[in-house]
């Protein structure tokens, strides 16, 4: 990268717009996304809010709707939904400069592998976004929680890390991104619980019955990880293996012990909730579906994850606003809990 790196964000939805908007002060940023969203940003600029009362208005960026706009990029951030990764890579393959570095900032476990398979001549790195970002307007996104981005610790990542930190993004380089992705998956298993609850994250996580649903999903995931020899990284104050037990604590004790991890503002909800609200396909197959598949390969059951995935698919079929919200006790009973 040169002194002002050229960064393209491919799949500029909520996370992509947030990352691109933060980087725009220190880099030549191009957002590549849906025509309606890009047109709104072109007209109004991009508004970033959160965490807390922070607000930033960004106009110094370029918008585009085609992969050709990434042709000059030193670094391409891929932020499409997991189901679209292969198609995105094939679009980018026609245009990327030979020296371009590609970073996957996506949910799920396998997106970097998919990108590497489709982009064999390029350096593809795994990345992780720990916090919640939702669209708050046609040209606005809101960050509802905190944490540090993580990117695979290689020399190819360091120029991007310098730019990210200069732009105000907290970022850590990590030597074992598969372990980080496994830990993030454990947390993302709550996306389905939150989407079905219809509640803000802070309220949903504050209720023991909903946490019990998440704990059941995490226990199944941890068993599958053990069978596969996967050790999730420790990303917060609680070791991954302790998380289901902590989730089962009484509400008052849980809030005291988990206070640092629950710094979530009142507006934050999961991206899966937003997908259901907007009538878009969810990423449940890359979250609960990953646990179901991994457990199945090792002869293990994953009934809680399977039932949650089925309920999310039912909500997808019902359409925007048609699916009913589930109370914590109702959802726990549906998963076979008491």
CB 53 within 8 A of CB 60: no
Residue 287 domain-assigned (yes or no):
yes
Residue 143 domain-assigned (yes or no):
yes
Q: Over pLDDT 70: what percentage of the chain?
A: 97
Average pLDDT, the chain: 94
- Boundary of a domain, candidates 175, 208, 238: 175
Render pLDDT for 122-160 as a digit per residue (tens, 0 to 9): 999 999 999 989 998 999 999 988 899 999 999 999 999
Return d(Cα 147, Cα 257) in angstroms, integer: 18
203, 222: one domain: yes
Residue 132, domain CATH: 3.40.50.720
Residue 23 domain-assigned (yes or no):
yes
CB 37 within 8 A of CB 138: yes
pTM of the predicted structure, to 2 decimals: 0.93
pLDDT given at position 155? 96
Mean pLDDT of 113-119: 97
Residue 298, domain CATH: 1.10.1040.10
pLDDT given at position 261? 58
194, 294: one domain: yes
187, 329: one domain: yes
Render pLDDT for 58-93 as a digit per residue (tens, 0 to 9): 999 999 999 999 999 999 999 999 999 999 999 999
User: Count of domains in the chain?
Assistant: 2
The parent domain of residue 162 ranges over: 6-175
Mean pLDDT of 10-30: 96
Render pLDDT for 196-227 as a digit per residue (tens, 0 to 9): 999 999 999 999 999 999 999 999 999 999 99
Mean pLDDT of 250-269: 79
- Boundary of a domain, candidates 123, 146, 175: 175
Using the predicted structure, report yes or no on whether residue 278 has a pLDDT greater than 80: yes
| Token pair of 128 as six digits | 């992780």
Other C-beta atoms lying within 10 Å of the C-beta of residue 15: 24
169, 24: one domain: yes
Going by DSSP bridges, is the β-strand pair 55-58/46-49 parallel, antiparallel, or unpaired? Answer: antiparallel
Per-residue burial over 166-202, b if 16 or more Cβ lie within 10 Å, else e, is ebebebbbbeebbbbbbbbbbbbbbbbbbbbbbbbbb
Residue 1 domain-assigned (yes or no):
no
């Amino acid at each position: 990268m040169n002194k002002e790196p050229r960064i393209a964000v491919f799949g500029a939805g909520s996370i992509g717009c947030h990352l691109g908007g933060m980087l725009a002060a220190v880099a030549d940023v191009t957002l590549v996304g849906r025509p309606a969203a890009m047109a709104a940003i072109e007209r109004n600029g991009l508004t970033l809010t959160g965490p807390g009362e922070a607000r930033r208005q960004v106009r110094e960026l370029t918008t585009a709707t085609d992969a050709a706009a990434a042709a000059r990029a030193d670094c391409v951030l891929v932020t499409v939904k997991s189901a679209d990764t292969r198609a995105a890579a094939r679009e980018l393959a026609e245009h990327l400069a030979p020296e371009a570095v590609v970073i996957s900032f996506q949910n799920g476990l396998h997106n970097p592998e998919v990108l590497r398979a489709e982009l064999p001549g390029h350096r593809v790195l795994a990345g992780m976004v720990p916090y919640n970002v939702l669209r708050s307007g046609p040209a606005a996104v809101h960050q509802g929680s905190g944490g540090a981005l993580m990117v695979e610790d290689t020399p190819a990542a360091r120029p991007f890390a310098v730019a990210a930190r200069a732009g105000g993004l907290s970022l850590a380089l990590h030597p074992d991104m598969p372990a980080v992705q496994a830990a993030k998956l454990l947390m993302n298993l709550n996306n389905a619980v939150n989407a079905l609850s219809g509640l803000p994250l802070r309220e949903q996580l504050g209720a023991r019955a909903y946490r019990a649903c998440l704990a059941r999903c995490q226990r199944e995931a941890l068993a599958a990880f053990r069978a596969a020899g996967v050790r999730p990284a420790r990303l917060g104050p609680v070791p991954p293996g302790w998380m289901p037990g902590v989730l089962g604590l009484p509400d008052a004790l849980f809030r005291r012990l988990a206070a640092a991890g629950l710094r979530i503002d009142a507006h934050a909800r999961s991206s899966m909730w937003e997908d259901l609200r907007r009538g878009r396909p969810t990423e449940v197959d890359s979250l609960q579906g990953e646990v179901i598949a991994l457990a199945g390969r090792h002869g293990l059951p994953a009934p809680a994850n399977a039932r949650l995935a089925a309920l999310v698919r039912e909500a997808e079929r019902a359409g925007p606003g048609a699916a009913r919200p589930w109370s914590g006790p109702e959802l726990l009973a549906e998963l076979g809990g008491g």
